[in-house]
Every structure is written in structure tokens, then in C-alpha cells.
Amino acid sequence: MMDRREVIKLGAGALVTGISAAAAAEAETKPQRRAEAEDGVEQWGVFEATLQGPSSGNPSVDVTFGARFTLEHRTVEVTGFYDGAGVYKVRYSPDTPGRWTYETTSSAKELAGHTGALDCVAAKPGNHGPVGTAHQFHFQHADGTPYFPFGTTCYAYGFIGAPWDATTLAALKRVGFNKVRMCLLPKPLGVRKPVAMPFERMGAALPEGAETLEDGGTSKERFDLTRLNPEYFRHVEQRIEDLLAAEIQADVILFHPYDAWGFKSMGAEADDRYLRYAVARLSAYRNVWWSIANEYDLVKSKSMTDWDRFFRIVQESDPYSRLRSIHHSRVPYDHAKPWCTHASLQEYDFEKSPARLEAWNKPILYDEIQYEGNIARRWGNLSPEEMTHRFWRAIVAGVYATHGETYITTDGSPVWSDAGELRGMSGERITYLRKLLERTGTTGLMAPERPYYTNAGNEGQRYLYYFDFHCVGEYEFPLPAKGSFKMTLIDPWAMTETPVPGVFSGKSKVTLTGKPYMAVLIEKA
């Protein structure tokens, strides 16, 4: 058996493509993809074992491959995947420090029974582990650090290619969004083409300009849906790794209706194979969330049975139980179903949040609250003020929202919610609110049942008021009689904070600006 272990270690070093000295230097912030005995694998990092196996026939269909990872009494079964050219990989993200051992399993003799070990070491600063739900309606990292989703939407970030993927990443970092909704399957990009296709072509690609890639159109290209294209997925997963290095969650959308190649109606066998491949390939990245679909109800070729089955496939295949949701257009999914970890809505009627929170008993993300921009479609022309306003409304309703942007471009560059340049003015206001929340020390704000003015807080600790359209010149805040509090006037658009002199307790009358869309933060003194 020692021989085989050697092979794995060797394979792991030799077969990973494109590892440079520069990339190695980035290892502190990037996930670990290799098992190196001297370093170990960081807790919640990625261990990857690579083996050479059969390349004849159709490995995606013919060969099963995986590994069992064991630490003391616990064994985790993990599915591997075929990465092309006879290369098989299995990835594992250990959640507990210690010496994990593993043994491969396969229907192919030469891939089965290989064993090895990896040393899982403590997480480095900045690595708080994956995000899960917590405190009933909120999120937190595995190490207990609260996580407040203040994300955006860049559907094509994963497959749009250079230079827009780098531009997107730079803007995400600059503005401080901590989550991005991105499609795993390609969508039409107008004049541009995705970097590759997720399945192997049957015959040559059509020449430049010969295909119709409009929304809802049909390409003349044909694909072999039994052969996943590793090149495509390697490209997308590099984008996910880049996000991970920047501490940004990747809300990976598995299906969507914006399709020019027939990928939205592949049939159950191809759907399920694709899903299992995606989970095998990506679930080890701790920043991955699963969105089963975007606007699921616009995919007319699938039934509710299909959507439920996809949830269950993802649930049973993902050894880490990454977050799972589904997003609708007109007909909301029943988010009370046990495999939904949180609700993902296309709405902005935040006033209905109390009823929804009660019905579903889990966090709610209003993931599409229309888009800042200036296009003719009514979902794509919010002012930056209105977009900012909606984020504040969400937070004081005890829920979360997601940004999107669709400014018309004249130079042929993509709009932000595909990928590329962020042009609007709401982004920094949104992430200002995120930082404000983080500063308060809350684990998630809860909205009272029938607030007089909308606010959310933690009883006796802190309260965040948002006065919406009300021009309040003076208000008597109903603070608890016990404890003393300090107050700060906040202008959400100007991002200014003005402390109110004094310390307050019980009913406290305070002079306010009389301007609309103002906020007040009240914190224990």
C-alpha cells in the first residue's frame, strides 16, 4: 500500500496545472489545493488528491470515483470527478484539525484502494470557515463570526473571461460586497461568447457570428450531454477560488432559464449527472452556496418534482451541507421545505417579512429587489437612492437584500449584473450599512412585531431605526428603563454619523433632522 500512497502524493504535485511560484506565494489567502506534508491543509481549506485512470470510453459515465476520509471515529465519504485526459480528482475540506487518513474507492481497479493522510492545521487569520444559518433568522461562519450577506449579482462572472472577470473581482473588493450570485451554466452574452461550453461539442463550434445567442433563442450547435467539459469548469472554479481569496461568498446558481443551447431542458439523466459533477467539483470550497435555480418557474420544461429532486441530490451529495436555496420569478417556492436552508426571493415588499419569517422559520434573502440602472425594463432602472433605501428597509425588517445593476453601456462592455464594471452609486452605501452592522457586535438584528417606526435590534442591547419616507423632526424613542444608551444620527446616503449628546434611558425625546430616509443607531453606552 505504501507504493500507492507515494503515487498519490506524486500525482498531487505533478498533475495540478499552472502552479507557479507566484501562486504558491499567495497560499496564505488562497485555498490549499495540494496535500503537502510539510504545510498541512488549513481547516476549511481544500485538500486535493489526483490520480491517473482510464481515459478510454466515457469516464464521466463509466467510472465511479471517490474517497473515504477518516479522523478518529468519523468517516466522510466524498465523491471525486473526472478532470479530462485520464485525470481523476477528489477534493476534501476538513472541518477539524488533526491527521486525516483516506482511501479511494472506484469502479476502476487502478483508482480504487489508494490510501494516504493529510494533516489538517488550524485556520489562518481571515479564514472563518463556511457560512451557515444561525440564531434562527441569520448567518454566521463556522468559527462563530457573524456573517451579514450584503451581496450583488454578476451572473456571467464565472464564464465571461478576461478582462471582465478581473474587472468584476476588483470592483467587488473595492466596494466590499461579500457575496455574489453567479450562474454555473452559461447564459447568452450578446456580442460576446462564454469562454467555453460545459459539455463537449458534437462536431466543430460554429464560426464566429454564425450562431444566435439571444435570450430564448436556440443555437445550431449540438453538445454531447454525457461528456462534461473540464476546461469550462476549471475556468469557473478559478473564479470561485478568487472570490474565496477575497472572502466573498459564491452563491452558485445551478439552473436558470437564460439559455441558447438547450441546457435548461437536458432531461433528468443529464441534469442529475451535471448536478453531481458540480457538487463533487465545487463543494469543497467553503465559500460555495447552492442556488438550485434562478427564476426556477420560468424553466417550463421542469416540474416541481424536478426542483425537489435537485435539492435532494445536492443535499445528499454535498458532504459539507453548504447553504441551499432557490429563487423564483412569479411563483415562490415553498421555502418551508426542509432542504431549503434559507429563502431566496424576488420581491421588495419587506413589510411582509414578519409573516414570511414566521412561516418559514429561517433566514430570508430578498435576492432580487430590482436593479439600479437606466434600462427601459421596469426591473432595471432604480435610482441609487432607491436601491440604498431598499437595503435599509430589509435590514430593519430583520432580513437581507441583494444588489444588482443594469446601466446601459455604449462601448459594448457588459452590464454589471452580468459582470464587468460597477457604475452605480448605491454599492458603497450598501457596504457602509454592512460595516455599520458589523461594528455593532450584533449576531443579527430582529424586528419587533408591530414597530411604530421601522427598526430592528437586540433587546436591551441595540436598536437600528430607519425612518423611511417619514420626515421626523422629533421622536420619543421607547428605550428600556434599565440600562443607558447612546444614540447616533445616521444619514444613509451621505454615510455620515452624528452622535447625539447625552446618555439615554426609558422614553427619550430626541430632535431629528426632519429629512426623509434618515436612520438612528442606539447602542448600550
Contact range with its own copies by CB under 8 A, out of 211-219, 328-336, 375-383, 483-491? 375-383
Q: How many CB atoms lie within 10 A of CB 521?
A: 23
Please state the separation of Cα 398 from the chain's center in Å: 20
In the complex, the smallest distance separating the C-beta of residue 516 from its own copies, rounded to whole angstroms, is: 5
In the complex, the smallest distance separating the C-beta of residue 454 from its own copies, rounded to whole angstroms, is: 9
Residue with grid cell 447553504, as numbered in its chain: 323
Select from 264, 104, 128, 89 the least CA-distant residue to 187: 264
Query: Would you count residue 494 as binding its own copies (CB under 8 A)?
Result: no
Query: Would you count residue 470 as binding its own copies (CB under 8 A)?
Result: yes
In the complex, the smallest distance separating the C-beta of residue 412 from its own copies, rounded to whole angstroms, is: 18
Q: Which is nearer to its own copies, 17 or 469 (CB)?
A: 469
Q: Which residues 6+ apart lie within 8 Å of 162 measured at CB?
A: none
Residues 446-465 that bind its own copies (CB under 8 A): 452-453
User: Contacting its own copies (CB under 8 A), which of 202, 471, 503, 525?
Assistant: 471
User: Contacting its own copies (CB under 8 A), which of 13, 113, 473, 499?
Assistant: 473
In the complex, the smallest distance separating the C-beta of residue 350 from its own copies, rounded to whole angstroms, is: 14
Contact range with its own copies by CB under 8 A, out of 128-136, 356-364, 373-381, 499-507? 373-381
**Helix, coil or strand: residue 247:** coil
Q: Which residues 6+ apart lie within 8 Å of 226 measured at CB?
A: 58, 60, 61, 270, 273
Contact range with its own copies by CB under 8 A, out of 81-89, 121-129, 382-390, 455-463? 382-390
Tell me the H-state helices in 293-407. 304-317, 353-360, 384-395
Q: Which sign does the torsion angle of CA 199, 205, 206, 208 carry? A: positive
Site string (84-123) toward its own copies, x via CB under 8 A? ----------------------------------------
User: Contacting its own copies (CB under 8 A), which of 103, 308, 386, 421?
Assistant: 386
Residue with grid cell 475540506, as numbered in its chain: 93
Q: Which is nearer to its own copies, 22 or 376 (CB)?
A: 376
User: Contacting its own copies (CB under 8 A), which of 73, 220, 330, 378?
Assistant: 378
What does the DSSP 8-state code read for residue 327? B
With contacts defined by CB under 8 A, how many residues of the chain interact with its own copies?
Answer: 23
User: Contacting its own copies (CB under 8 A), which of 196, 343, 472, 522?
Assistant: 472
Omega of the bond prior to 338 within 30 degrees of 0, cis? no
Contact range with its own copies by CB under 8 A, out of 30-38, 249-257, 368-376, 492-500? 368-376
Q: Which is nearer to its own copies, 185 or 456 (CB)?
A: 456
Contact range with its own copies by CB under 8 A, out of 111-119, 178-186, 339-347, 376-384? 376-384
Q: Which residues 6+ apart lie within 8 Å of 515 measured at CB?
A: 471, 491
Contact range with its own copies by CB under 8 A, out of 61-69, 117-125, 279-287, 367-375? 367-375
In the complex, the smallest distance separating the C-beta of residue 278 from its own copies, rounded to whole angstroms, is: 36
User: Contacting its own copies (CB under 8 A), which of 25, 358, 474, 501?
Assistant: 474
Q: What is the distance between the alpha carbons of residues 165 and 178, in angstroms, rounded to a whole number? A: 16
Angle at 305 between CA 301 and CA 306, to 5 degrees: 50
Please give the single-letter amino acid code of residue 404: G
In the complex, the smallest distance separating the C-beta of residue 509 from its own copies, rounded to whole angstroms, is: 8
Q: C-alpha distances in angstroms, 518 versus 133, 502, 510?
A: 30, 20, 14
Contact range with its own copies by CB under 8 A, out of 265-273, 286-294, 308-316, 380-388? 380-388
152 class by beta-carbon count within 10 Å (0-12 exposed, 13-18 middle, 19+ buried): buried
The full DSSP string for 413-449 is PPPTTTSS----SSHHHHHHHHHHHHHHT-S--B--S
User: Contacting its own copies (CB under 8 A), which of 374, 458, 461, 508?
Assistant: 374
Q: What is the distance between the alpha carbons of residues 331 and 523, in angstroms, rounded to a whole number? A: 40
Query: Would you count residue 24 as binding its own copies (CB under 8 A)?
Result: no
Which residues pair with residue 71 across a beta bridge? Answer: 74
Do residues 51 and 77 make contact, with C-beta atoms less than 8 angstroms apart? no
Residues in contact with its own copies by CB under 8 A are: 373-376, 378, 381-383, 385-386, 408, 452-453, 469-476, 514, 516
